[in-house]
Amino acid sequence: MDPLMRCGLSPFIGLYEAPHVPGGYVMLPGMRAQLAGAVQVVRDREELKKGIADLYDESSKMWEGLWGEHMHHGFYDPGLPGSVAHHRRAQLRMIEETLSFAGVTEDSSKWPKRVVDVGCGIGGSSRYLAKKYGAQCQGITLSPVQAQRAQALAVAEGLADKVSFQVADALDQPFPDGHFDLVWSMESGEHMPDKNKFVSELTRVAAPGATIIIVTWCHRDLSQSEDSLKPDEITLLNKICNAYYLPEWCSPSDYVKIAESLSLKDIKTADWSDNVAPFWPAVIQSAFTWKGFISLLRSGWKSIKGALVMPLMIEGYNKKLIKFTIITCRKPE
Ligand code: SAH
C-alpha cells in the first residue's frame, strides 16, 4: 500500500503514478473533490518535467539579469521593505537562516563535506555552501540551460574543483545511497509530483546522521473538521500551479508525516511566510522596470505567464493559504 495512503495523506498530495499507466498519473477520489469547480491542467510526469525544464531554460537568464544567482525568496525582518541590494542580501540571509534553523554547526570540525543541492537553479546555493564550508557540492536541475550556466559560473569563480552540476531528476537521483552529509533542497519541492518519493530520495542519498533541509511552498494545514481546502483556495492554487508547472501542493504537516514514516529524526518545521512577505512585491516591481519588461518579453510566453500570476502568490500569502515552510530533519545514525 502507498505509505501516504497509510498515513492518510493521499487526498492531499494529489497525483499518483498509476501502475497500469506507464509514466502516467491517476487522480484519486479525494483529489477529484479538491478540484471540483477548479480548472487545473493535469500533466503526466514527463509533460511536467518538460514544462519545468522549458520554463527554467527560458526564464533563468532573465532572472539572473534582474535578481542574480539565487532563484529563491529573501528572508526579511517582517515589516521592513527595502532596496534591490537589500533584497539580494535577504536572499543570502535566507541561506544563513536556513542553515542556522537546521543546526548546521559553526564548528569547522563538523562542517558538511559533501552536499547535494536538489533543484539547484543556476547553482547559487552550491557555490555559497562550497565557499562557506569548503564542501564538495553536486547540484541537479531539470534545466540544461541552468546546469550549463551553473557550471560556467563555478569556473568563473574558481570553484570548478568543488562544485558540479548535471541534469537529473530529484525523484531518481544519480547518486549512491548514503553519500551526502548535507541534503539541501531550496524551493524545488513544490515542483515534485510525488512528495513521498521526493523525501525518500533525499533520505536515500543522505549519509547516516546527515542533515536534510527542505525549504518549500506549502498550503496551510487543514483543520480537524476539513478534509480538503476550500474551493476558492483550490482555484487560486491551481492558477499558480498551471503557470509555474507545479503539481498538487501539500501542507507542512503532510511533510512531517512523510518524514516520520521514513523514521527521520529531529523533525522541525517553521512557517516563514511573514519573513518572505516583501519578496513578491519586489519581484513584481522589478518586472515593471524598463529592463524587466524588455527581458520578460525576450524570455518568452512561459515567463510572461509566470509574471502574470505573481500577484496571486501575494494573494495566497495574504489569505494565509500559502505557507513558506522550512522542514529539517536528520537521518538516523
Ligand atoms: N534552489 C535554486 C533554484 C530554485 S528554482 C535556488 O535557490 O536558486 C527550482 C529548481 O528546481 C529549478 O532548478 C528546477 O529545475 C528544479 N527542479 C524542479 N523539479 C525538479 C526535479 N524533479 N528534479 C530536479 N530538479 C528539479
State which of 120, 190, 324 you would mutate to test the pocket of ligand 1, scoring each by most atoms of that ligand within 8 A of its C-beta.
120
For residue 186, the ligand 1 atom closest to its alpha carbon is 1
- pLDDT given for residue 106 in this prediction: 79
| 26/21 Cα distance (integer angstroms) | 8
Residues 239 and 295 in one domain: yes
- pLDDT given for residue 302 in this prediction: 80
Among protein residues, the one with the nearest Cα to ligand 1's atom 16 is 119
Residues 175 and 209 in one domain: yes
Among protein residues, the one with the nearest Cα to ligand 1's atom 17 is 119
| Ligand 1 center to 59 CA (angstroms) | 13
| Ligand 1 center to 299 CA (angstroms) | 18
With a cut of 60, say whether residue 129 has pLDDT above it.
Answer: yes
For residue 70, the ligand 1 atom closest to its alpha carbon is 8
| 183/224 Cα distance (integer angstroms) | 32
Among protein residues, the one with the nearest Cα to ligand 1's atom 13 is 121
pLDDT, tens digit (0-9, with 9 covering 90-100), for 72-93: 999 998 877 666 568 889 999 9
Residue 5's pLDDT band (boundaries 50, 70, 90)? very low
Give the domain range for residue 265.
38-330
Residues 149 and 193 in one domain: yes
Residue with cell 492554487: 237
For residue 123, the ligand 1 atom closest to its alpha carbon is 8
| Ligand 1 center to 141 CA (angstroms) | 5
In the chain, where do the E strands start and end?
15-17, 25-27, 114-118, 136-141, 163-167, 180-186, 206-219, 265-271, 322-330
- pLDDT given for residue 84 in this prediction: 59
State which of 59, 140, 141 you would mutate to test the pocket of ligand 1, scoring each by most atoms of that ligand within 8 A of its C-beta.
141
| 189/119 Cα distance (integer angstroms) | 8
State which of 57, 96, 142, 326 you would mutate to test the pocket of ligand 1, scoring each by most atoms of that ligand within 8 A of its C-beta.
142
**Residues contacting ligand 1 via CB (< 6 Å):** 52, 56, 70-72, 119-121, 124-125, 140-143, 146, 169-171, 186-188, 191-192
| Coarse DSSP helix, strand, coil percentages of the chain, rounded to the nearest 5 percent | 50, 20, 35
Lowest mean pLDDT among 81-95, 169-183, 236-250: 81-95
Residues 82 and 10 in one domain: no
Residue with cell 500551479: 241
Residues 48 and 23 in one domain: no
Residues 28 and 128 in one domain: no
- pLDDT given for residue 83 in this prediction: 63
- Distances in whole angstroms, Cα of residue 42 to Cα of each of 141, 196, 238: 22, 19, 10
Pair type for strands 163-167 and 136-141: parallel
| Ligand 1 center to 103 CA (angstroms) | 23
- The neighbour count for residue 68, using CB atoms within 10 Å, is 15
Q: For the chain, give the mean pLDDT.
A: 86
Residues 12 and 116 in one domain: no
**Region 210-221 average pLDDT:** 98
State which of 117, 191, 213, 302 you would mutate to test the pocket of ligand 1, scoring each by most atoms of that ligand within 8 A of its C-beta.
191
| Ligand 1 center to 331 CA (angstroms) | 22
Torsion angle, CA of 58/64/66/70, rounded to 10 degrees? 120
- pLDDT given for residue 67 in this prediction: 87
Cell of 289: 522596470
Residue 284's pLDDT band (boundaries 50, 70, 90)? confident
Residues 156 and 260 in one domain: yes
Confidence (pTM): 0.87
Residues 165 and 29 in one domain: no
**Region 175-188 average pLDDT:** 98
306 or 31: whose pLDDT is higher? Answer: 306
Residues 3 and 107 in one domain: no
Sheet holding 114-118, edge to edge: 163-167, 136-141, 114-118, 180-186, 206-219, 322-330, 265-271
Residues 1 and 44 in one domain: no
| High-pLDDT (> 90) share of the chain, % | 69
**Region 203-216 average pLDDT:** 98
- pLDDT given for residue 86 in this prediction: 85
CB neighbour list of residue 313: distance below 8 Å, 6 or more residues apart: 240, 280, 322
Q: How many domains does the structure of the chain reveal? A: 2
Among protein residues, the one with the nearest Cα to ligand 1's atom 19 is 191
Residue 137's pLDDT band (boundaries 50, 70, 90)? very high
Residues 2 and 144 in one domain: no
Q: Give the domain CATH number at 323.
A: 3.40.50.150
Largest Cα–Cα separation, the chain: 55
**Region 281-300 average pLDDT:** 80
pLDDT, tens digit (0-9, with 9 covering 90-100), for 15-59: 323 322 223 333 333 333 344 334 667 778 999 999 999 999 999
